[in-house]
């Protein structure tokens, strides 16, 4: 077919989100060491135009709100071939205590670190 397999985009979203958070000095490992998990609770992917297999792409991650219990991340996949996004997506995650498996508020260190990247 020559196109990127549709299921791969969620993996690309995760990699982009992980790298964005790591670049702020907030790696997932640190959350986990503090007993906080961040499972995905909702995903949405809108396919506007295909990306060809082996084509270089850029995955932009945006945050529009400071997280409380939920973290909403938005994604735009672009290539040099087209200015408009080929793919748009949204992933919602929930902060959860590892020991109780119950939702909890985002750690203040995490919230403070994200302040600089929130696009309002």
Residue 68 maps to which CATH number? 3.10.129.10
Q: What is the mean pLDDT of residues 62-69?
A: 93
Model pLDDT for residues 5-16, shown as the tens digit of each residue: 999 999 999 999
Q: What is the DSSP secondary-structure string of 51-105?
A: PBTT---EEEEEB-S--SSEEEEEEEEEETTEEEEEEEEEEEEE-EETTT--B-P
Would you say residue 98 lies in a domain?
yes
Residue 44 backbone phi and psi in degrees, to 5: -145, 130
Q: What is the mean pLDDT of residues 34-62?
A: 96
Would you say residue 2 lies in a domain?
no
pLDDT number for residue 75: 98
Would you say residue 1 lies in a domain?
no
Domain count, the chain: 1
pLDDT bucket at 27, cuts 50 / 70 / 90: confident
Most confident of the following: 53-57, 87-91, 116-120: 87-91
Residues in the chain: 120
Q: What is the mean pLDDT of residues 77-92?
A: 96
pLDDT bucket at 120, cuts 50 / 70 / 90: low
Domain that holds residue 110: 8-117
């Amino acid at each position: 077919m020559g196109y990127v397999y549709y299921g791969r985009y969620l993996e690309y979203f995760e990699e982009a989100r992980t790298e964005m958070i790591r670049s702020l000095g907030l790696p997932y490992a640190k959350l986990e060491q503090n007993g906080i998990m961040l499972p995905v609770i909702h995903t949405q992917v809108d396919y506007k135009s295909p990306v060809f297999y082996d084509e270089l792409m850029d995955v932009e991650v945006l945050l529009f709100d400071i997280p409380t219990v939920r973290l909403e991340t938005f994604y735009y996949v672009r290539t040099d071939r087209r200015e408009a996004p080929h793919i748009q997506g949204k992933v919602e995650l929930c902060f959860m205590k590892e020991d109780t498996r119950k939702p909890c508020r985002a750690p203040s260190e995490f919230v403070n670190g994200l302040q600089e990247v929130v696009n309002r």
